[in-house]
Structure 1
Amino acid sequence: MAEQCGLDRHRLTNDSVRKRMALKLRDENVAPTDIMHFTGHTNIQSVLNY
């Protein structure tokens, strides 16, 4: 899938995708508790660290 999108699959990790998604959601003013729902975090501080 990564190669089909023109991404380097060797640099793409689950954590990097999760972090990027969390940052994009934060930039769109999505509530941290909602971000936790999508990322699977159980500690709000983990989301706030992004």
Structure 2
Amino acid sequence: MTEATLLDQQLTGRAIGLGDLGFGGVISQAVGQRANFLAEQGWLSGGGSA
């Protein structure tokens, strides 16, 4: 069984809020990029949360 990454947990809403500053801001940006990538691959419906 494969565990969801931190980025994937953020996309699915199963992770705690990380804020918008510092590390949380970096994660928020990475989540947006991950959502875009998954949408481009056809693995994420709805276009992501970017």
TM-score past 0.5 threshold = no
Which TM-score bucket, shorter chain as reference? 0.3 to 0.5
TM-score (normalised: structure 2): 0.38
